[in-house]
Structure 1
Protein backbone atom coordinates (compact mmCIF):
# COMPACT_ATOMS: atom_id res chain seq x y z
CA UNK A 1 0.00 0.00 0.00
CA UNK A 2 1.09 3.54 -0.65
CA UNK A 3 2.03 5.88 2.12
CA UNK A 4 -0.01 9.07 2.55
CA UNK A 5 2.12 12.09 1.74
CA UNK A 6 1.80 14.75 4.41
CA UNK A 7 2.07 18.40 3.37
CA UNK A 8 5.09 20.36 4.51
CA UNK A 9 4.78 21.74 8.02
CA UNK A 10 5.66 25.45 8.20
CA UNK A 11 6.59 27.97 10.87
CA UNK A 12 5.56 31.42 9.65
CA UNK A 13 7.57 34.24 11.25
CA UNK A 14 6.13 37.75 10.98
CA UNK A 15 8.55 40.46 12.08
CA UNK A 16 9.50 43.78 10.49
CA UNK A 17 12.92 43.97 12.18
CA UNK A 18 15.19 42.00 9.83
CA UNK A 19 17.71 41.03 12.53
CA UNK A 20 15.03 39.74 14.92
CA UNK A 21 13.28 37.88 12.08
CA UNK A 22 16.56 36.25 11.01
CA UNK A 23 17.31 35.25 14.62
CA UNK A 24 13.87 33.64 14.96
CA UNK A 25 14.31 31.90 11.60
CA UNK A 26 17.72 30.51 12.59
CA UNK A 27 16.23 29.24 15.85
CA UNK A 28 13.18 27.63 14.23
CA UNK A 29 15.30 25.95 11.55
CA UNK A 30 16.40 23.65 14.40
CA UNK A 31 12.87 22.19 14.49
CA UNK A 32 11.06 19.83 12.11
CA UNK A 33 9.24 22.83 10.63
CA UNK A 34 10.16 24.61 7.43
CA UNK A 35 10.58 28.35 8.01
CA UNK A 36 8.84 31.07 6.02
CA UNK A 37 9.48 34.73 6.81
CA UNK A 38 7.20 37.74 6.33
CA UNK A 39 7.91 41.42 7.07
CA UNK A 40 4.26 42.42 7.55
CA UNK A 41 0.87 40.99 8.45
CA UNK A 42 -0.30 41.63 4.89
CA UNK A 43 2.60 39.58 3.52
CA UNK A 44 1.76 36.80 6.00
CA UNK A 45 -1.92 36.87 5.00
CA UNK A 46 -0.95 36.55 1.34
CA UNK A 47 1.12 33.48 2.17
CA UNK A 48 -1.68 32.02 4.32
CA UNK A 49 -4.28 32.49 1.58
CA UNK A 50 -2.25 30.15 -0.62
CA UNK A 51 -0.56 27.82 1.89
CA UNK A 52 -2.58 27.81 5.13
CA UNK A 53 -2.89 24.03 5.10
CA UNK A 54 0.90 23.80 5.53
CA UNK A 55 1.22 26.30 8.39
CA UNK A 56 1.50 24.78 11.86
CA UNK A 57 3.03 27.71 13.77
CA UNK A 58 2.68 31.48 13.56
CA UNK A 59 5.24 33.56 15.47
CA UNK A 60 4.47 37.24 15.10
CA UNK A 61 5.44 40.58 16.56
CA UNK A 62 2.53 42.67 17.85
CA UNK A 63 3.71 45.92 16.28
CA UNK A 64 3.93 45.60 12.51
CA UNK A 65 4.02 48.11 9.64
CA UNK A 66 1.04 48.78 7.37
CA UNK A 67 -2.62 48.53 8.35
CA UNK A 68 -2.79 45.21 10.15
CA UNK A 69 -0.92 44.64 13.43
CA UNK A 70 0.00 41.33 15.03
CA UNK A 71 -3.13 41.20 17.20
CA UNK A 72 -5.33 41.66 14.12
CA UNK A 73 -3.34 38.96 12.34
CA UNK A 74 -3.70 36.56 15.28
CA UNK A 75 -7.48 37.09 15.46
CA UNK A 76 -7.84 36.48 11.72
CA UNK A 77 -5.67 33.36 11.81
CA UNK A 78 -7.56 31.89 14.78
CA UNK A 79 -10.88 32.43 12.96
CA UNK A 80 -9.88 31.19 9.50
CA UNK A 81 -7.20 28.62 10.35
CA UNK A 82 -7.79 27.48 13.94
CA UNK A 83 -5.22 24.65 13.76
CA UNK A 84 -2.33 27.18 13.51
CA UNK A 85 -0.60 27.49 16.90
CA UNK A 86 -0.09 31.23 17.38
CA UNK A 87 2.40 33.13 19.51
CA UNK A 88 2.56 36.93 19.68
CA UNK A 89 5.64 38.72 20.93
CA UNK A 90 6.29 42.31 21.92
CA UNK A 91 9.03 44.39 23.47
CA UNK A 92 6.51 46.88 24.83
CA UNK A 93 3.31 46.66 26.89
CA UNK A 94 0.22 45.94 24.78
CA UNK A 95 -1.57 49.14 25.86
CA UNK A 96 -4.96 47.49 26.35
CA UNK A 97 -4.62 45.34 23.22
CA UNK A 98 -4.25 42.19 25.30
CA UNK A 99 -8.04 42.20 25.83
CA UNK A 100 -8.50 41.65 22.09
CA UNK A 101 -5.98 38.78 21.87
CA UNK A 102 -7.73 35.41 21.52
CA UNK A 103 -7.44 33.30 24.67
CA UNK A 104 -5.56 30.49 22.95
CA UNK A 105 -2.85 32.82 21.60
CA UNK A 106 0.32 32.86 23.70
CA UNK A 107 1.84 36.26 24.52
CA UNK A 108 5.62 36.18 24.86
CA UNK A 109 7.62 39.26 25.91
CA UNK A 110 10.77 40.33 24.08
CA UNK A 111 13.49 39.44 24.46
CA UNK A 112 12.00 35.97 24.15
CA UNK A 113 13.74 32.89 25.43
CA UNK A 114 14.87 30.49 22.74
CA UNK A 115 13.71 27.45 24.71
CA UNK A 116 10.17 28.84 25.05
CA UNK A 117 9.95 29.52 21.31
CA UNK A 118 11.27 26.06 20.50
CA UNK A 119 8.77 24.43 22.88
CA UNK A 120 5.86 26.23 21.22
CA UNK A 121 7.12 25.26 17.76
CA UNK A 122 7.50 21.62 18.83
CA UNK A 123 3.92 21.60 20.17
CA UNK A 124 2.76 22.97 16.83
CA UNK A 125 4.74 20.37 14.88
CA UNK A 126 3.23 17.53 16.92
CA UNK A 127 -0.43 18.51 16.64
CA UNK A 128 -2.79 17.63 13.84
CA UNK A 129 -2.94 20.43 11.28
CA UNK A 130 -6.66 20.12 10.59
CA UNK A 131 -9.57 20.01 12.95
CA UNK A 132 -11.93 17.25 11.90
Structure 2
Protein backbone atom coordinates (compact mmCIF):
# COMPACT_ATOMS: atom_id res chain seq x y z
CA UNK A 1 0.00 0.00 0.00
CA UNK A 2 1.19 3.50 -0.76
CA UNK A 3 1.78 6.15 1.84
CA UNK A 4 -0.87 8.75 2.34
CA UNK A 5 0.50 12.18 1.47
CA UNK A 6 -0.60 14.90 3.87
CA UNK A 7 -2.09 17.99 2.24
CA UNK A 8 -0.05 21.15 2.12
CA UNK A 9 -0.53 23.57 4.95
CA UNK A 10 -0.63 27.01 3.40
CA UNK A 11 0.16 30.52 4.60
CA UNK A 12 -1.89 32.88 2.44
CA UNK A 13 -0.46 36.40 2.21
CA UNK A 14 -2.74 39.19 1.02
CA UNK A 15 -0.78 42.39 0.39
CA UNK A 16 -0.95 44.79 -2.55
CA UNK A 17 2.54 46.24 -2.03
CA UNK A 18 4.92 43.96 -3.96
CA UNK A 19 7.94 44.61 -1.72
CA UNK A 20 6.05 44.15 1.55
CA UNK A 21 4.40 40.98 0.19
CA UNK A 22 7.83 39.66 -0.79
CA UNK A 23 9.21 40.40 2.67
CA UNK A 24 6.30 38.57 4.32
CA UNK A 25 6.73 35.64 1.93
CA UNK A 26 10.47 35.39 2.63
CA UNK A 27 9.75 35.41 6.34
CA UNK A 28 7.00 32.78 6.17
CA UNK A 29 9.09 30.52 3.96
CA UNK A 30 11.11 29.88 7.12
CA UNK A 31 8.13 27.93 8.51
CA UNK A 32 6.69 24.55 7.58
CA UNK A 33 3.93 26.31 5.65
CA UNK A 34 3.77 26.59 1.87
CA UNK A 35 3.46 30.28 0.98
CA UNK A 36 0.83 31.56 -1.46
CA UNK A 37 0.78 35.26 -2.34
CA UNK A 38 -2.17 37.37 -3.52
CA UNK A 39 -2.53 41.11 -4.02
CA UNK A 40 -6.26 41.54 -3.31
CA UNK A 41 -9.03 40.17 -1.12
CA UNK A 42 -10.83 38.93 -4.22
CA UNK A 43 -7.79 36.88 -5.30
CA UNK A 44 -7.49 35.48 -1.78
CA UNK A 45 -11.17 34.46 -1.72
CA UNK A 46 -10.81 32.79 -5.10
CA UNK A 47 -7.89 30.78 -3.75
CA UNK A 48 -9.78 29.92 -0.57
CA UNK A 49 -12.86 28.82 -2.52
CA UNK A 50 -10.70 26.20 -4.27
CA UNK A 51 -8.12 25.34 -1.59
CA UNK A 52 -9.58 26.25 1.81
CA UNK A 53 -8.81 22.81 3.25
CA UNK A 54 -5.09 23.55 2.82
CA UNK A 55 -5.01 27.04 4.35
CA UNK A 56 -3.83 27.23 7.95
CA UNK A 57 -2.76 30.90 8.14
CA UNK A 58 -4.01 34.15 6.61
CA UNK A 59 -1.80 37.24 6.81
CA UNK A 60 -3.71 40.18 5.32
CA UNK A 61 -3.18 43.91 4.97
CA UNK A 62 -6.07 46.16 5.98
CA UNK A 63 -5.87 48.43 2.94
CA UNK A 64 -6.34 46.51 -0.29
CA UNK A 65 -7.36 47.47 -3.83
CA UNK A 66 -10.68 46.53 -5.44
CA UNK A 67 -14.00 46.32 -3.62
CA UNK A 68 -13.04 44.41 -0.47
CA UNK A 69 -10.54 45.61 2.09
CA UNK A 70 -8.66 43.42 4.54
CA UNK A 71 -11.33 43.80 7.22
CA UNK A 72 -14.02 42.51 4.84
CA UNK A 73 -11.73 39.62 3.97
CA UNK A 74 -10.98 38.57 7.55
CA UNK A 75 -14.66 38.73 8.49
CA UNK A 76 -15.52 36.46 5.58
CA UNK A 77 -12.71 34.04 6.39
CA UNK A 78 -13.71 33.81 10.06
CA UNK A 79 -17.30 32.97 9.04
CA UNK A 80 -16.59 30.50 6.23
CA UNK A 81 -13.28 28.97 7.33
CA UNK A 82 -13.02 29.38 11.13
CA UNK A 83 -9.99 27.07 11.43
CA UNK A 84 -7.77 29.54 9.52
CA UNK A 85 -5.59 31.46 11.97
CA UNK A 86 -5.89 35.08 10.89
CA UNK A 87 -3.67 38.15 11.28
CA UNK A 88 -4.64 41.60 10.03
CA UNK A 89 -1.87 44.14 9.53
CA UNK A 90 -1.63 47.83 8.65
CA UNK A 91 0.80 50.71 8.61
CA UNK A 92 -1.92 52.89 10.13
CA UNK A 93 -3.76 52.52 13.44
CA UNK A 94 -7.18 50.86 13.32
CA UNK A 95 -8.85 53.80 15.10
CA UNK A 96 -12.56 53.68 14.22
CA UNK A 97 -12.28 50.17 12.74
CA UNK A 98 -10.91 48.53 15.90
CA UNK A 99 -14.36 47.48 17.09
CA UNK A 100 -15.08 45.88 13.71
CA UNK A 101 -12.17 43.41 13.88
CA UNK A 102 -13.39 39.94 14.95
CA UNK A 103 -12.12 39.14 18.44
CA UNK A 104 -10.20 36.06 17.29
CA UNK A 105 -8.24 38.02 14.66
CA UNK A 106 -4.82 39.30 15.72
CA UNK A 107 -3.86 42.82 14.63
CA UNK A 108 -0.16 43.55 13.98
CA UNK A 109 0.89 47.11 13.17
CA UNK A 110 3.53 47.63 10.49
CA UNK A 111 6.41 47.36 10.64
CA UNK A 112 5.75 43.95 12.17
CA UNK A 113 8.25 42.07 14.24
CA UNK A 114 9.51 39.00 12.44
CA UNK A 115 9.37 36.86 15.56
CA UNK A 116 5.69 37.71 16.17
CA UNK A 117 4.76 36.80 12.59
CA UNK A 118 6.70 33.54 12.83
CA UNK A 119 5.07 32.67 16.15
CA UNK A 120 1.58 33.18 14.70
CA UNK A 121 2.47 31.06 11.67
CA UNK A 122 3.85 28.30 13.91
CA UNK A 123 0.66 28.33 15.99
CA UNK A 124 -1.32 28.00 12.77
CA UNK A 125 0.82 25.11 11.56
CA UNK A 126 0.48 23.29 14.89
CA UNK A 127 -3.27 23.75 15.21
CA UNK A 128 -4.02 23.07 11.55
CA UNK A 129 -6.60 20.44 10.94
CA UNK A 130 -8.43 19.52 7.81
CA UNK A 131 -12.11 20.36 7.94
Q: TM-score surpassing 0.5?
A: yes
Aligned length, in residue pairs: 131
Residue by residue over 1:54-103, the C-alpha shift from the partner in whole angstroms, topping out at 9 and shown as x without a partner, is 00000000010111010110000000000000000011012311111110
Match of 2:86 in 1: 86
Q: Is the 8 A contact 2:83 2:129 kept in 1?
A: yes
Return the alpha-carbon distance in structure 2 between the equivalents of residues 20 and 128 of structure 1: 25
Gaps of 5+ in 1: none
Matches within 5 A, 1:16-55: 16-55=16-55
- The alignment yields a C-alpha RMSD, in angstroms, of 1.2
Give the C-alpha shift of residue 4 in structure 1. 3.9
TM-score computed with the length of structure 1 as normaliser: 0.95
Match of 2:98 in 1: 98
Match of 1:65 in 2: 65
Return the alpha-carbon distance in structure 1 between the equivalents of residues 59 and 129 of structure 2: 16
Match of 2:12 in 1: 12
Return the alpha-carbon distance in structure 2 between the equivalents of residues 6 and 130 of structure 1: 10
Gaps of 5+ in 2: none
Return the alpha-carbon distance in structure 2 between the equivalents of residues 114 and 129 of structure 1: 25
